[in-house]
Structure 1
């Protein structure tokens, strides 16, 4: 076909032949063919394909020379006007017909079907001809390729801007959007702001058979809302969980995507961030039953297995992946996770390192690699590894949280607080982060501020319906803060709640014993400390506190005994005096019959030491 049309210099035929070479893996041949026919300079689609061929060969600098290092930002539509238009339209729809986004419209084709049937020759509203629309798509794709090149060169800031420009130019450039979300290049706040800036109204669809312009507009609007909901499910799960749930429910019910693996993975990710590990595991298992080697699901699946201490299942998963797909980073992530779960840290470090070497942008492998140093107390190496993860994944707050924890372990409280505040700036709704902030405040002798952070962590965990057992540490820390504030009743209530939820730890009973000692209740302290030693007989703190409690109990018993003896002696003396007084009274009554009252009185006053106050008062 190309030979027949060569006289007419048909660029499309040359482009499709180059694509055939590309699809068969002959990247060098495809790139050489495009250069030979001088298609790179005059055709955007051919320039895109040539750059892609060079990227596949690892020649990133040459790819940037072909693609250019500047993005065509002049092609970005007025996103503010588009956003205002979308909000106004949403308000009008809400007044006319309340309900979930993307509700049924009479005569409108399902958005999923409409998008799949989209005619590439149709132009977009407000974007000129069909040829202009095609060129825009290739310009957006070239922005995406520039981002890949910059990312390979570790210029992540420039890669981020390229990916953002690609989606702003063509909102359907999903590959660029996925890179932004998958590599956590934006903070949760940035992600939601970026979503609002996207021009979803640029998505247009042809009218359905027999339809008119109104039907086409309705179908296009539904397609735009459908795409927006799909993108919403990809955003960070730490912010706006209610909006995520709304989009998820609408896609599951109205568009019948309840069994879609990507949608299920987004739901599992949300549940994992809420520490609902069993619920998340049920979803990932259902996905893997239908598609055993869906590697996008495995990071969340493996994390749930680790949190639930399912070591045997981890072993089977890791063994299967290592045997069947040794070229996948997920396989060695699974092996490293298994070794980490059974406490063989050096082996875990080796396999986490292998996974991160195979894919330098594989975030779970980097985090696991850093965890192995933290588990062995190698804080300097752990800080170095977490710093690398923070540089690679600028939008996620977790590396900053872990850096704060490591500096706290080194007693660098000021630096730990700085890292945690940076993490709080990226994500202000993570209970784990709030708990760590409280720990730092506690060790800075600021128990009132620490208690406020712990209370906020538990409140947020309750809002997202997290598993109570997952937040035992935060509740325990809150009880210790109350103890430092001498709010003993509230501290005991929190400790009792921890024990009720299954946190049977010697330190809990020791803390209760200490509170009882502070309250002057050594007997109850002894009972609590015996419970602590029953859990851990070698606990030094419980042993020392028990000795103090027993001494205090002994002193109280001795004081009580001495008080009892003094009371008995006093009663004996009082009894003797009463007996002598009674005897004198009887003698006076017998001897006073022949005497005058004055004589009788004189006889009594001769020995006042022998008498009583009652007798003296009577004589007077």
Structure 2
């Protein structure tokens, strides 16, 4: 009869027929007075939402003291009623860390021994009851973490979650809290994952020792699943390997969680369209998968798809007004349309519905930053940094706000803190370079900008997303007077990011510095063709034109001066030639020049003296000009 009633109760519970399950479970408990039957009756009350009734039942039977599973369920009932102090008093504040030493050995990375017929069959070292108790102890560590998080004791909450997974690596709830709330830095995540005892996960054992590889397969499977949940900044290669294996060998290529992890990787690479394509495919098959919406909405915002944001916000508000993601979507829509006050109101509503909803806190802080209210923005970002200790983004935004307020020392400190959390984010490196640039630490700034671009290449990021970093590097080269490198970077910026009047203006400034006003005029005209009212380009163009006109005037003056000198030299040579010719004529009259006046030129055949005959002085004048021309040629 007991067996019959237990099967009936379980069948009713499986069908969510809670009244039937409660009715039968009550009769069964009266018959047996068994702790296990009391636990399952309380479990039915819990599933029905009757948390007070379940908690009273467990307390009345004194099951909390005797049974670990009943203690866990009673504490969970108190948490559901928001009675966190009472739940913590029931659970106790100390974790059973002695259980960690029994099974938290470091994951083996060496090659496993090949199975042999001589190896004995490994026997269980712990009974099923001990394993069950250990798992409930891990679950209670998770509940302690929930209580501490509700009390804003996030450091203690983090340690409770970590102990829960160390005690039972299959306690995914605790592992998910660590990842979802960014309580660990990317480096801490990887170290923590490798410290877990995945080898404690075993399939149902075969009596033959030849199936050792099959026994170890679940451990590898869970390890790969956990690997996909880690930060995508730290080790994208390991992530891709895990996803490839899970997709190929276990048919999870279309699984929503793996697709979402891949979309998250694309988002960190600034490949927003690729990320959006994946999140859209997930929502097409599961429209109200709320874990997808924060990333999906962020991609829509980056791509300025306000119409799609509007439709999603309306649909969620109509169908799921009790979800924080709904009001996050509404806030992002208003933020994308520059309605900052409305956006702030809905971001605040989402954060009040779930105090640990990171995207809502970040959006709330962004609204103050958008209006230039730096003090309020700093306060909101500081709250986000306290709630989400493992992510570097709040620290980056705090650095940006202090930079906007010209607090360079504070900005540098926040950015260094962010760098300690995540050294692989090109956005962070770019911001560090900007601060160094404004501190006139140009060589250091250039090195950081180059590191940002190198890191973007390593994570296979979209080049168009890092145009600003390359532009900053080009400006740094310009100020260092490394004109060739600066022009090369500006040219690449124009190739990656399209036309930009500021880039053309910067190139014009370099050409002016190189005393190439004609080149400057050319590129500044291109800048004004893009932005005709650009004041900087206009001023630089006027300066370039002035220098061009000045150069032309100098050239004309130089040419005129050369012509004057030439004419003076020509006149001087004419005078010298005239004097020379006149001297020759006078000499001819005194000596052998007697034949000039004889007869009609008969004796003039000798030595060319007949050149004086003809029509007198005019002939000599013509000869003078000929001599002058010959002298000039010489």
Change (3 A) 1:286 1:127: farther
Task: Output the CA distance in 2 between the equivalents of 1:493 and 1:460.
Answer: 20
Of 45, 56, 68, the residue aligned with 1:21 is 45
Equivalent residue number for residue 48 of structure 1: 72
- Tell me how large the CA RMSD over aligned residues is: 2.2
Give the alignment of 1:34-433 within 5 angstroms.
34-77=58-101, 81-83=105-107, 86-89=108-111, 128-207=126-205, 211-214=206-209, 217-433=212-428
SS at match of 2:111: helix
Q: How far does residue 537 in structure 1 lie from its aligned partner after superposition?
A: 3.0
Q: Distance in 2 between matches of 1:130 and 1:422?
A: 46
Query: Which secondary structure does the structure 2 equivalent of 1:575 belong to?
Result: helix
CA distance in 1, matches of 2:467, 2:442: 18
Q: Where do residues 525-564 of structure 1 align in structure 2 (5 Å cutoff)?
A: 525-564=520-559
Q: Secondary structure at the match of 1:88?
A: coil
Check the 8 A contact 1:127/1:133 in 2, yes or no.
no
Structure 1 equivalent of residue 596 of structure 2 = none
Q: Would the alpha carbon gap of residues 27 and 595 (structure 1) be closer, same or farther in structure 2, given more than 3 Å must change? A: farther
Query: Structure 1: which 4+ aligned runs deviate by more than 6 Å?
Result: none
Q: 2:504 aligns with which of 509, 520, 524?
A: 509
Residues paired across the two proteins, number: 567
Q: Distance in 1 between matches of 2:143 and 2:28?
A: 33
C-alpha displacement of 1:320: 1.0
Higher Cα Rg: structure 1 or 2? 2
Counterpart CA distance in 2 for 1:202 and 1:80 is: 9
1:40 aligned counterpart, secondary structure: helix
Contact 1:79 / 1:197 at 8 angstroms: preserved in 2?
no
Point out which structure has higher relative CO (alpha carbons under 8 A, 6+ apart): 1
Displacement of 1:335 in angstroms is: 1.0
Deviation track 1:162-203 (CA, whole Å, cap 9, x = no partner) reads 000000000000000000000000000000000010000001
Per-residue deviation at 1:254?
A: 1.0
Q: TM-score, normalised by structure 2?
A: 0.86
Give the CA deviation at 1:529: 2.2
Q: Does 1:483 align with 2:478?
A: yes
Partner Cα distance (1:242, 1:508) in 2: 36
The alpha carbon displacement at 1:526 in A equals 2.2
Distance 1:334 1:160, change over 3 A: same
Measure, in 2, the Cα distance between the counterparts of 1:4 and 1:309. 61
Change (3 A) 1:127 1:269: farther
Using a 3 Å threshold, how does the CA distance of structure 1 residues 453 and 4 change in structure 2: closer, same or farther?
closer
In structure 1, which of residues 494, 498, 502 is the aligned counterpart of residue 489 of structure 2? 494
Q: Name 1:440's counterpart in structure 2.
A: 435
Unaligned runs of 5+ in 1: 97-123, 598-611, 616-620
The separation in 1 between residues aligned to 2:556 and 2:123, in whole angstroms, is: 97
CA distance in structure 2 between the aligned counterparts of 1:224 and 1:45, rounded to whole angstroms: 25
8 A contact 2:104–2:166 mirrored in 1? no
* Cα gap change, 1:420 to 1:125, in 2 (>3 Å): farther
Separation in 1, partners of 2:590, 2:249: 121
Distance between the aligned counterparts of 1:389 and 1:505, measured in 2? 35
- Kept in 2, the 8 Å contact 1:125–1:202? The answer is no
Match of 1:116 in 2: none
Post-superposition offset of 1:539: 2.5
Structure 1 residue 78: Cα displacement = 5.7
Shift of 1:471: 0.5
Equivalent residues of 1:237, 1:269 under 8 A apart: yes
Which residue does 2:608 correspond to in 1? Answer: none
Q: CA deviation at 1:212?
A: 3.1
Cα deviation 1:199-244 (Å, max 9, x = unaligned) = 000011113xxx5333553222010000000000000100011111
Q: What residue in structure 1 maps to residue 451 of structure 2?
A: 456
User: How far off its partner does 1:3 sit?
Assistant: 4.5
Q: Distance in 2 between matches of 1:482 and 1:468?
A: 20
